[in-house]
Structure 1
């Protein structure tokens, strides 16, 4: 270098309380007894100095702790951003395996998907959660979404009612909106089959599912429709949609009780107890 101005390459090595100078002339840490300085190779100097700062064990531990705290902060910020953008309802943030009561027979199937995500993604494997109302289909789909987002994997969980509303209210084109949905590594469509069965609505449903199919990215769908209804569509419009779903998603039947009804009954019993008290 021809010229160096206003550059301080060496951090401050002022001794802390208890630090001392060793027999080799270097500054040592008074706590861990390791050097805070090191000599340059013989004959080498920098700015007239024959030594440079070095990390003692205490300083190294403090640096690692700071870096870990900063990494954790960045991770939490990333997860918060993913959940803010990925869920259409903030209540879905609480749909986690940790909060699960363990009574749903299909919990293991949902856990398997999250734990083997790399394989599911590589082989484009999705789930079709079907069964009666209140059997926990949406909850376990949300558990998968939360587990993946905790690992910084973007997921979008929404439903076709919200998608159709977005089509009507969005300033961007429909194709761009669908392309954005397809960019998510995992898309979850909740309450499939509850949307209006108009010709326009069915066409938009097919566009989203077919675009997802062509993007070769996995899809999870929850529905109150029976597998027999899906395998025997009433018309050509539904057949196009259902065929795509069955090709992309492995059917998983939910056979548990109605957890919503149980929750409502538990609240009623609690209210009675409070009134009696």
Structure 2
């Protein structure tokens, strides 16, 4: 008998010390009292044996735990791969619903977007997240990205400053680069409107936005531009871009507290406390 055949029957031949043989002649588990063997149908044998291994409750539980651990390991590896691929800044990994400080009144929209992702994808619903500086627009988008990646959905979160640099460095592969951006089920463009407004830059911005539009896949944009500025572009070049965006994406005004200002204020107060403490020594 080969090693594989021996392995088939190993469960039946290698009994644990607490196992015992029941009145029916089968091996039983000493812990759960369930059989570890079962007879073949009457008259049937395999390799001269009249019985085959059978999982007892203990063995089944152990197997299920191993399988669950393997699935979790593979899931974590896949999520890690997606985050390495999808985020341009490692800090974005921390932009999650779990880490939210609760100061953005619109955060429930982000949760609803994730919960309704299949519908958002099917009907190509995007978002324009606009509002004052430091109100949490990027964090809002990052929460969506992280939550979808945890569901093993591929997301790219980048900005046009990086995109334009990459396009300039890959002159011959521009179409391939833009096609790769548009291959992600969700594309997030952070800090839209902050890129240089040269003729070349605007043309490449339009190419990316237009290609995403033609892909029929959702786009999320964060911007410090006002809704009025988006709806009343300054020239034809901007109008082409903004028209595409406003057709693809629903505007959401983010009105959270300016966390950068609050953080700076807290830092200043901390410094004052430390200096006062030093003076009193």
TM bracket (short chain): over 0.9
1:258 Cα deviation (Å)? 1.3
Q: Work out the CA distance in 2 between the residues paired with 1:243 and 1:24.
A: 79
Partner of 1:125: 125
Task: Give the superposition deviation at 1:147.
Answer: 0.4
Contact 2:103 2:257 survives alignment (8 Å): no
Q: Partners in 1 of 2:197 and 2:111 — Cα distance?
A: 33
Structure 1 counterpart SS, 2:124: coil
Give the Cα separation in 1 of the matches to 2:204 and 2:153. 26
Q: 1:36-47 maps to which residues of 2 (within 5 A)?
A: 36-47=36-47
1:115 Cα deviation (Å)?
1.3
Task: Look up the match of 1:212.
Answer: 212
Aligned twin of 1:103: 103
Equivalent residue in structure 2 for 1:7, among 4, 7, 20 = 4
Q: CA deviation at 1:15?
A: 0.7
Distance 1:26 1:101 in 2: 60
Q: Which residue of 2 aligns with 1:71?
A: 71
More deviation, 264-273/133-142: 264-273
**CA distance in structure 1 between the aligned counterparts of 2:3 and 2:231, rounded to whole angstroms:** 75
Kindly state the Cα deviation for residue 276 of structure 1 after the two structures are TM-superposed: 3.1
Looking at structure 1, the residues matched to 168 and 124 of structure 2 have their Cα atoms a distance apart, in angstroms, of 30
Distance change (3 Å), C-alpha of 1:172 and 1:185? farther
Secondary structure of the residue aligned to 1:221 is strand
Shift of 1:171: 7.3
- Distance in 2 between the 1:72 and 1:257 partners? 37
| Structure with higher helix content | 2
> 1:172 & 1:198 partners in 2: Cα distance?
20
Tell me how far apart the structure 2 counterparts of residues 274 and 71 of structure 1 sit (CA, whole Å).
Answer: 49
TM-score, with structure 2 as normaliser: 0.95
The unaligned stretches of length 5 or more in structure 1 are none
8 Å contact from structure 2 (residues 233, 239) kept in 1? yes
> Given the alignment of the two structures, is residue 18 of structure 1 paired with residue 11 of structure 2, yes or no?
no
Contact 2:111–2:144 (CA<8 Å) still a contact in 1? yes
Distance 1:194 1:266 in 2: 27
Secondary structure of the residue aligned to 2:130 is: strand
Alignment length (residue pairs): 274
CA deviation digits over 1:1-51, x for unaligned, max 9?
Answer: xxx865326141211011000000000000000000001111111100000
How far off is 1:61 after superposition?
A: 0.3
Gaps of 5+ in 2: none
Structure 2 distance, partners of 1:182, 1:204, is: 14
| Cα distance in 2, alignment partners of residues 196 and 118 from structure 1 | 35
SS in 2 for 1:82: helix
Post-superposition offset of 1:264? 1.0
Superposition TM-score, scaled by structure 1 size: 0.96
RMSD: 1.3
Instruction: Say which SS state the counterpart of residue 8 (structure 2) adopts.
Output: coil
Give secondary structure in 2 for the equivalent of 1:250.
strand
In structure 1, what is the Cα distance between the partners aligned to 2:213 and 2:243?
A: 11
